[in-house]
A and B are shown apart, each in its own frame.
Chain A
Amino acid sequence: MDPSVALFLNALVAGLLIGGFYAAVTVGISISFGILDIVNIAHPAFIILGSYIAYIVNQTFGLDPILTSIIVLPAFYLLGSVVYQIYYVSFEQHGQDALRGLAFFFGLLFVTEVILILVFGVDYRYVQASYIDATYRMGTFAIPMRMLVPCLLSLLMVALLQMFLTRTFLGRAIMAVSQDQLALRLMAVNPVRIKRIAFAISIATASVAGAFLIVIQPVEPSVGREYIGRVFAICVLGGLQSLPGTVIAAMIIGVVESMTSTYYGPSWAPAVSFGFLLITLAFRPAGLLGR
């Protein structure tokens, strides 16, 4: 194969793999921001928290990071409920004070990051698992397992969430909360309870995404910042509410980033998603698949 074609195809595959992972990172935002209209910019901080929990358990018990993240799902669910309860009591209840809610999450992001720095320092941390160093080779393609495993599992997670949202009563209630709260109340469903459950689920996904993150790359507390723009770019590009849209947008951002770092150098890659976000917001705020 022509080397330039091989380079291109490898960049494409790498982009698709990282895009799958981005879908897992963004799905929480798609639920909290897209469906519930809660601007949880602290989401990346919860992801990093998930990474560090996977790290601690991996270091002390040698447990697989992704398995760990699934075990601690209930804890993250609980954390999400608590955060939503605070948010609801102090902001949402009193009507639309978006400005203060934003500042609240911004503060939360910052506090989480600094606490992680105080506890763990700014060194990069990594985990050990059998598949992290393995690479699957096929001709000129090299597919590292540390990319493939998170990608496939995150697609599985998004598919499960999509099934939950469209097939179950609770899931449909969550979708309904974003459309018509009054109607929900008339059906004797408490919208606050539904929103709390949905927000808790969105935080729970951060646990799994955090484990994927630390499998893919070493993590330090401020890594989360690069993800703020990325996840919102993907979420907006994907049309906010739609999980399939999120997956497609995640793949697009992943591929464009991978192409940029292959052809222009990695130092330009962060600008891609943010640039994409700025352009999308300026010209097509409804997103690619938006109505």
Chain B
Amino acid sequence: MRTPFFFIIALVVGAAVFGVALWKGGDYTFYAGYVVLQFIVLATAWNILGGYCGYVNFGSAAFFAVGAYCSVALHKFDPTKPLELCLSVWIPFTEIGFRACSTLNVSFLSPIFPLPIPALIVFGGLISGIVGLGMGYLTLRLRGAFFAIATLALAVVLQTMVVNWDYVGGSRGAYIIRPSELTFAGIKLGYIQYLFLIMMLLSVIALTLARLIERSRLGYGFATIRDDELAAEACGVPTLRLKLIATTISGMLMGMAGAPFPYYIGYLEPGTAFGLSYGVNSIAMPMIGGTTSWVGPLVGALIVATLQQWVTVTISSEWGVLIVGLLLIFFVIIAPKGVVGLVQATRRRFKTGEH
């Protein structure tokens, strides 16, 4: 199937789901559905680096939070006030250093502020893509476990920076007041439905991108890194460049998933945005679904996120997290190829007539 064709089909499916949700579901359907869609994007993004290249990223939450905090910063940004840019350099543990400031008049930006969510998504994706590229550079020489631990470290460093950044609320967190509804091309739409629609579009884009990568030269390059990086490099595969591309795309998509989040939750604090549950979920979902193709993260996210939402409502959120952890352990031990692998194995068995 050609990519544009796939994209259109995915869009139609997405629109159909949205239509059914409007017709049958209440507000809760959209609140829960948003989370499921958000995890589809996160899981797909994780899989581009983790599944295709074999680099485990424990710091998904960091990229997600970068996107979310970009939105917070832009939301708080008031273009009618002059922007103050400061540079301060200090020698650690001493009083020696300097601080230079200059102000910039940015009132010409006021017509476009506050920015609409799609613009925030683009911006959040850009910044977290840059963070991803930076992480790629910093971890160039690292493989396997060292890479994974470095991503975890990156998440904590970023969290500490946000906690100490007063402009976005620091550890106190930030409130985002969103309108309850908005008019979109003459149609009145609840805000949560609007967010749901945006996230749906984003997950369609993410899935199409993942599928496109999988079937292109880029995807084959990624696969060589996963299978044997040394051999790939010896054969002339530009592993370094491919790795940087993968960390950038993966980071970008995670940031895009995070950008609308402050508007969804209404109150953002570092503990929520950097929560370990994002890290675990975005690893668990592709692992449970299957890491080798774009279908895996989709299936995994649908199963796990739906289950988690259900358990959170019926029992408690701790149980929801516990179940994800247990499923992750269960699948990596029993079914390393995930649900997709299980289905393929069953189909093959039926075709050959064995039982």
Q: Are B332 and A107 in contact (CB under 8 A)?
A: yes
Name the distance in Å between B52's Cβ and chain A's nearest Cβ: 12
Compute how far the CA of A33 lies from the CA of B148 in the bound complex, rounded to whole angstroms: 13
Is the C-beta of B93 less than 8 angstroms from some C-beta in chain A? yes
Binds B, one of A67-75, A96-104, A126-134, A244-252: A96-104
Residues of B within 8 A of A118 (CB): 318-319, 322
- Among B138, B141, B152, B283, point to the contact of A103 (Cβ < 8 A): B283
Check B329 against A107 for contact (C-beta < 8 Å). Answer: yes
**Are A271 and B276 closer than 8 Å at their CB atoms?**
no
With an 8 A cutoff between CB atoms, is B115 at the interface? no
CB pair B332–A104 under 8 Å, yes or no, is yes
User: Which stretch from A54-62, A109-117, A211-219 is at the chain B interface?
Assistant: A109-117
Q: Which of B144, B154, B329 has the most CB of A within 10 A?
A: B329
Among the 9-residue stretches B32-40, B155-163, B230-238, B258-266, the one with 4 or more Cβ atoms under 8 Å from chain A is B155-163
Q: Are B157 and A275 neighbours in the complex by a CB distance under 8 Å?
A: yes
Given the known interface contacts A118-B322, A229-B156, the answer about A107 and B328 at a Cβ–Cβ threshold of 8 Å is yes
What are the 8 tightest A-B residue pairs by CB atom distance, in nearest-first order?
A271-B160, A107-B328, A111-B325, A274-B153, A39-B145, A110-B325, A107-B329, A114-B322
Question: How far apart are A71's CB and chain B's nearest CB, in angstroms?
Answer: 29
For the complex, what is the distance from the CA of A107 to the CA of B281, rounded to whole Å? 10
Please report which residues of chain A, range 207-248, place their CB below 8 angstroms from some CB of chain B when the two chains form the complex. 222, 225-226, 228-229, 232-233, 236
Chain B residue contacts of A117, Cβ below 8 A: 318
B164/A285 in contact, CB under 8 A: no
Show the binding face of A for B, using Cβ within 8 Å: 33, 39, 41, 86, 90, 97-100, 102-104, 106-108, 110-111, 114-115, 117-118, 222, 225-226, 228-229, 232-233, 236, 259, 263, 267-268, 270-271, 274-275, 277-278, 281-282, 285
Assess whether A110 is in contact with B280, with CB atoms less than 8 Å apart: yes
| Contact status A100-B332, CB under 8 Å | yes
In the assembly, what is the distance between CA of A102 and CA of B284, in Å? 12
B336→A100 contact, CB < 8 A: yes
- State the CA gap A267–B156 with chains docked (Å): 12
Q: Is the CB of A282 within 8 A of B149?
A: no
B92 smallest CB distance to A (angstroms) = 8
Cβ contact within 8 Å between B161 and A271: yes
Asked whether, in the complex, the Cβ of A111 is within 8 Å of the Cβ of B326, the reply is yes
Known pairs A90-B332, A106-B328, A275-B157. 18 more at Cβ < 8 A?
A: A41-B148, A41-B149, A102-B144, A102-B148, A104-B329, A111-B325, A117-B318, A118-B322, A226-B156, A232-B149, A263-B93, A267-B171, A268-B160, A271-B157, A274-B153, A274-B157, A278-B138, A281-B142
A residues within 8 A CB of B152? 41, 228-229, 232
A-B contact list, 30 entries, CB within 8 Å: A41-B148, A98-B144, A100-B332, A102-B56, A102-B144, A103-B284, A106-B58, A107-B284, A107-B332, A110-B325, A111-B325, A118-B318, A118-B319, A222-B276, A225-B276, A229-B152, A229-B156, A232-B149, A233-B153, A259-B93, A263-B92, A267-B171, A271-B156, A271-B157, A271-B160, A271-B161, A274-B153, A274-B154, A274-B160, A281-B153
Q: Are A281 and B150 interface neighbours, CB within 8 A?
A: yes
Assembly CA distance A281 to B152 (angstroms): 12
Q: Is B321 an interface residue (CB 8 A)?
A: yes
Give B contacts to A, CB under 8 Å. 50, 54, 56, 58, 92-93, 138-142, 144-146, 148-150, 152-154, 156-157, 159-161, 163-164, 171, 276, 280, 283-284, 287, 318-319, 321-322, 324-326, 328-329, 332-333, 336
A142 to chain B: closest CB distance in Å? 21
Q: Which of A90, A103, A270, A275 has the most CB of B within 10 A?
A: A103
| Residue from the set A39, A267, A278 with the largest chain B CB neighbour count within 10 Å | A278
The answer for the CA separation of A110 and B153 in the assembled complex, in Å, is 17
Q: How far is the CA of A229 from the CA of B59 in the complex (A)?
A: 12
Look across to chain B and name the residue whose beta carbon is closest to the beta carbon of A115. Answer: B322
Query: In this complex, what residue of B is CB-closest to A40?
Result: B145
Residues of A within 8 Å of B329, CB to CB, are 104, 107-108, 111
Please report the C-alpha to C-alpha distance between residue A195 and residue B326 in the assembled complex, in whole angstroms.
26
Contact partners of B328 in chain A: CB under 8 A:
103, 106-107, 110
List B contacts of A108 (CB < 8 A).
325, 329
Give Cα A33–Cα B144 distance, bound, in whole angstroms. 12
Q: Return the chain A residue nearest B149 by Cβ.
A: A232
Closest to B271 in A: A222
Interchain CB contact (< 8 A) of A285 among B142, B153, B154? B142
Is the Cβ of A278 less than 8 Å from the Cβ of B164?
no
Known A-B contacts A281-B142, A281-B146, A285-B142; the reply to A103 vs B332 at CB < 8 A is yes
Cα of A106 to Cα of B283 in the assembled complex, Å: 9
Q: Is the CB of A104 within 8 A of B322?
A: no
Chain B residues contacting A229 (CB-CB under 8 Å) are 149, 152-153, 156
